[in-house]
């Protein structure tokens, strides 16, 4: 049923299409159309002059800062999460795709222990929720490298008058951008794995989403090929419901034993679970 999803060119086309769908390259100046009232599923900074949609984390923090429950964003993310898990990170998010492309640069690669990936929940609950609630300011947005790359650079390029207002915090944010861009060359999707609050929120649904990766333990030989090709460095043959799995399908295509496959429906005994 999902065999067509295993083709890398299909995923590449969808990611490129999502990028152009989320950003308007045929509109001069800041886009302020009605689509701004809708969420873009992945990180795509709403303040970018090209952005057609709003960023889920931007709206989330707006309501949190206003001391209001963000029903709209939580419902939006909940529907996607229950239906497909963290698939948005692997098939739609332009910033995640950008990191993945950077990691293809031929150089030495570092492997970071998966225990450190829980740091993104500090960003979700500590920065985007608690600190934003206390201060009323969207601190995740202020630090988010996706916003700096997609919004700050285009704004300063298109609006030279704004360059005079680039203060000290601007340089702090762009230090983060440079760090993440550089780290992406040596580490698989560093921001997605260690700092993205939106990815953390989507990842919570991987434990009970209908869209899963099924592991046939009778075929699996624990060869680690699936982990080696995984852009999130997940041991998918052991943890198919990992909070970090973005359902990209690269592991399925690479498995020499054909032990992995997509599955849609309630969990079954043939789907292994994390310990």
Asked if 213 contacts 245 with a C-beta cutoff of 8 angstroms, the reply is: yes
In percent, the amount of the chain with pLDDT more than 90 equals 57
Domain 213-264 architecture:
2-Layer Sandwich (3.30)
What is the model's pTM? 0.87
Q: Where are the domains of the chain?
A: 3-204, 213-264
Give dist(CA 119, CA 114) in Å, integer.
10
Give dist(CA 58, CA 269) in Å, integer.
39
**Weakly modelled stretches of the chain, pLDDT under 50:** 270, 273-275
Count CA within 13 A, CB hemisphere, residue 219.
13
Token pair, residue 127, equals 């920065």
Instruction: Give the pLDDT of residue 274.
Output: 42
Instruction: Give the pLDDT of residue 220.
Output: 94
Q: What is the pLDDT of residues 87-109, one digit of tens each?
A: 999 999 989 999 999 999 999 99
Give dist(CA 56, CA 67) in Å, integer.
17
Asked if 39 contacts 56 with a C-beta cutoff of 8 angstroms, the reply is: yes
Long-range contacts of 17-23 (CB under 8 A, 24+ apart): 18/42, 18/91, 18/92, 18/93, 18/94, 19/94, 19/97, 21/52, 22/51, 22/52, 22/53, 22/94, 23/48, 23/50, 23/51, 23/52, 23/94, 23/150
Instruction: Give the pLDDT of residue 6.
Output: 62
Closest by CA to 204, choosing from 244, 233, 144, 263, is 244
Instruction: Give the pLDDT of residue 51.
Output: 79
Instruction: Give the pLDDT of residue 273.
Output: 43
């Amino acid at each position: 049923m999902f065999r067509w999803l295993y083709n890398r060119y299909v995923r590449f086309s969808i990611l490129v299409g999502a990028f152009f769908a989320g950003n308007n390259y045929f509109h001069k100046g800041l886009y302020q159309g009605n689509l701004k009232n809708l969420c873009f599923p992945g990180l795509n900074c709403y303040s970018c002059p090209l952005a057609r949609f709003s960023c889920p984390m931007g709206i989330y923090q707006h309501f949190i800062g206003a001391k209001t429950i963000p029903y709209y964003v939580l419902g939006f993310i909940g529907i996607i999460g229950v239906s497909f898990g963290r698939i948005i990170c692997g098939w739609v998010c332009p910033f995640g795709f950008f990191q993945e492309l950077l990691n293809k640069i031929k150089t030495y690669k570092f492997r970071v222990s998966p225990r450190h990936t829980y740091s993104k929940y500090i960003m979700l609950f500590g920065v985007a929720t608690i600190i934003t609630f206390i201060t009323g300011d969207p601190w995740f947005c202020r630090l988010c490298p996706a916003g700096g790359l997609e919004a700050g650079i285009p704004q300063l390029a298109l609006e030279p008058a704004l360059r005079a207002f680039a203060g000290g915090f601007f340089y702090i944010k762009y230090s983060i951008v440079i760090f993440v861009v550089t780290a992406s060359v040596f580490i698989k999707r560093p921001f997605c794995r260690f700092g993205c609050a939106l990815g953390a929120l989507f990842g919570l649904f991987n434990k009970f989403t209908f869209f899963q990766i099924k592991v046939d333990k009778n075929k699996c030989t624990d060869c680690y090929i699936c982990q080696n090709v995984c852009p999130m460095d997940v041991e998918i043959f052991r943890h198919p419901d990992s909070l970090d799995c973005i359902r990209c399908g690269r592991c399925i295509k690479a498995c020499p034993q054909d032990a992995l496959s997509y599955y849609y429906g309630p969990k079954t005994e043939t789907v292994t679970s994390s310990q």
